[in-house]
């Protein structure tokens, strides 16, 4: 039986286009994004100071002041168009072989060689914050199903496509490989028997945690059935036993005290602010005593100087991420405490990204001998708590 990823076959032109768009987007996100500072320092800030008698104090003030700057507008145009072109560069290859991909996912689910499980729910109601926009400018977002047993959006947005990752540090598997050593270092007696990944998509991050904690029972939920079907097929073909379930993280169907470890990665900023509170409360409910919740997320406004704050919020205005800024305006520790975590059991931390450093450098950063770089520049912002 062919592996599901092998059925994603691009023509040479399609493949080259995907690589070009990926490199263009990487250039915009990792180079041009910080070159915007030059335009800000040379013209935008001095003009703001002349008019207001002070420097901008928030990212939102910078955004309003820089809106007509030619370099910023050019940067935004390049980044927006690259983001929009990425799914389009792969869409033809997905549609061309979609039925074979669906058949492959069905067949592997029947054979089920690794013993994992897949549960979908055709009656699950999609929240309006999911259906209102095509998130990340991807037609159909994560959740849309175009045909029975669809896997298209999972493959389109998954990590198993031909084309390189837009930003190697954003490959979700590296999140699990980064967080796990930090957990072991910070909580040396913590030895989880199972894990729940909220917003797991195809489960790549779960696989990473499984490698770091041998014997860990892997569970993941997502609202998007195409991603879960795709992830289940990949896991079974890789011999990884993973339990995937289509659920809304605001109302989990697991009993109280079910998991030792609950995680999420770049998930909470995708949902409406009231939903984040319900999700964290649900995570607290399903955690066992001494269990840990840890979320890798965008750093909040309170921890960023105004210009970095402005850069992070670009997606809210230009990338169909309407909840981005409102999520970042919250206090992560306050969210945790409101959900049941005690103040002395919570943490907010920037940890090193394992994909950026050698083992020796990573160990040095963990020990605190060297300061961890900013989120997105070699570091990841995480927050969470331990259930007493």
Three-state secondary structure string covering 261-282: EEEEECCHHHCCHHHHHHHHHH
**Alpha-carbon gap, residue 213 to 194, rounded angstroms:** 9
pLDDT at 2: 79
Please state, in angstroms and rounded to a whole number, the distance separating the CA atoms of residues 84 and 88: 7
* Residue 229, φ and ψ in degrees, nearest 5: -65, -45
Q: What's the mean pLDDT when you consider all of the chain? A: 93
Per-residue confidence (pLDDT) for residue 386, from 0 to 100: 98
CATH, range 168-386: 3.40.50.150
Given this model, what pLDDT does residue 326 score?
94
Can you tell me the mean pLDDT for 300-327? 94
Query: How many separate helices (H) and strands (E) can be counted in the chain?
Result: 17, 8
Query: Rounded to whole angstroms, what are the CA distances from 387 to 267, 277, 287?
Result: 21, 16, 7
Q: What pLDDT is stored for residue 222 in this prediction?
A: 98
Cα 293 to Cα 60, 167, 184, distances in angstroms: 30, 26, 14
Whole-number pLDDT of residue 200 = 96
Angstrom distance (rounded) from CA 231 to CA 332 = 30
Check residue 161 and give its pLDDT.
36
Pairing status of strand 194-198 against strand 259-265? parallel
Residue 30: what pLDDT? 85
Q: What is the mean pLDDT of residues 186-198?
A: 97
**Does 168 score more than 50 pLDDT?**
no
Residue ranges of the domains in the chain? Answer: 4-114, 168-386
DSSP reduced 3-state for 110? helix
User: What local confidence, expressed as pLDDT, does residue 173 receive?
Assistant: 63
Sheet holding 346-352, edge to edge: 117-119, 242-246, 217-222, 194-198, 259-265, 287-297, 379-386, 346-352
Predicted confidence (pLDDT) at residue 162 exceeds the cutoff of 50: no
**Contact 299/325 with Cβ under 8 angstroms?**
no
Percentage of the residues of the chain whose pLDDT score is greater than 70: 96
Taking residue 293's Cβ as centre, other Cβ atoms within 10 Å add up to 25
State the Cα–Cα distance between residues 385 and 388, nearest whole angstrom.
Answer: 9
The Cα 356–Cα 354 span in angstroms is: 5
The whole-number average pLDDT for the span 160-183 is 62
Handedness of CA 383, 60, 372, 352 (dihedral sign): positive
Long-range contacts of 320-326 (CB under 8 A, 24+ apart): 320/133, 320/134, 320/135, 320/136, 320/137, 321/135, 321/136, 321/269, 321/270, 322/129, 322/132, 322/133, 323/129, 323/269, 323/270, 323/271, 323/272, 323/273, 324/269, 324/298, 325/60, 326/272, 326/273
Whether 359 shows a pLDDT value over 90: the answer reads no
pLDDT score, position 101: 96
What confidence tier does 165 reach under pLDDT thresholds 50, 70, 90? very low
Residue 1 pLDDT: 67
pLDDT over 90 (residue 14): yes
- Give the mean pLDDT of 57-76: 96
From CA 148, how far away is CA 259, in angstroms rounded? 32
Is residue 126's pLDDT more than 70? Answer: yes
pLDDT at 171 over 50: no
pLDDT higher than threshold 50 for residue 163: no
Read off the pLDDT of residues 89-124 as tens digits, 9 standing for 90 and up: 999 999 999 999 999 999 999 999 999 999 999 999
On the question of pLDDT at 159 being above 60, the answer is no
């Amino acid at each position: 039986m062919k592996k599901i990823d092998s059925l994603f076959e691009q023509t040479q032109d399609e493949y080259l286009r995907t690589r070009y768009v990926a490199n263009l987007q990487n250039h915009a996100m990792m180079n041009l994004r910080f070159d915007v500072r030059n335009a800000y320092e040379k013209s935008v800030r001095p003009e703001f100071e002349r008019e207001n008698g002070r420097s901008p104090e928030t990212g939102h003030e910078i955004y309003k002041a820089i809106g007509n700057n030619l370099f910023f507008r050019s940067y935004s145009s390049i980044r927006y168009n690259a983001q929009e072109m990425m799914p389009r560069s792969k869409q033809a290859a997905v549609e061309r072989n979609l039925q074979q991909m669906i058949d492959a996912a069905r067949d592997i689910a029947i054979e089920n060689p690794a013993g994992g499980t897949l549960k979908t729910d055709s009656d699950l109601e999609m929240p309006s914050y999911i259906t209102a926009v095509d998130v990340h400018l991807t037609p159909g977002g994560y959740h849309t199903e175009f045909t029975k047993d669809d896997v298209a959006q999972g493959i389109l947005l998954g990590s198993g496509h031909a084309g390189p990752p837009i930003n190697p540090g954003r490959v979700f598997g590296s999140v699990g490989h980064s967080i796990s050593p930090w957990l072991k270092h910070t909580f040396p007696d913590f030895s989880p028997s199972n894990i729940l990944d909220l917003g797991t998509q195809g489960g790549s991050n779960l696989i990473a945690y499984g490698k770091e904690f041998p014997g860990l029972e892997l569970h993941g939920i997502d609202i998007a059935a195409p991603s879960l079907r795709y992830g289940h097929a990949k896991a079974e073909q890789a011999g990884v036993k993973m339990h995937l379930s289509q659920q809304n993280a605001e109302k989990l169907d697991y009993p109280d005290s079910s998991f030792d470890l609950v995680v999420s990665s770049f998930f909470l900023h995708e949902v409406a602010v009231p939903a984040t509170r319900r999700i964290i409360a649900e995570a607290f409910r399903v955690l066992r005593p001494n269990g840990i919740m840890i979320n890798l997320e965008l750093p909040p406004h309170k921890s960023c100087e105004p210009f970095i704050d402005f850069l992070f919020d670009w997606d809210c205005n230009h990338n169909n991420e309407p909840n981005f800024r409102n999520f970042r305006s919250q206090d992560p520790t306050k969210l945790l405490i409101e959900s049941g975590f005690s103040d002395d059991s919570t943490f907010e931390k920037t940890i090193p990204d394992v994909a950026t450093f050698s083992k020796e450098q990573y160990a040095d950063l963990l020990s605190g001998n060297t300061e961890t770089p900013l989120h997105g520049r070699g570091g990841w912002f995480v927050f969470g708590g331990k259930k007493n």
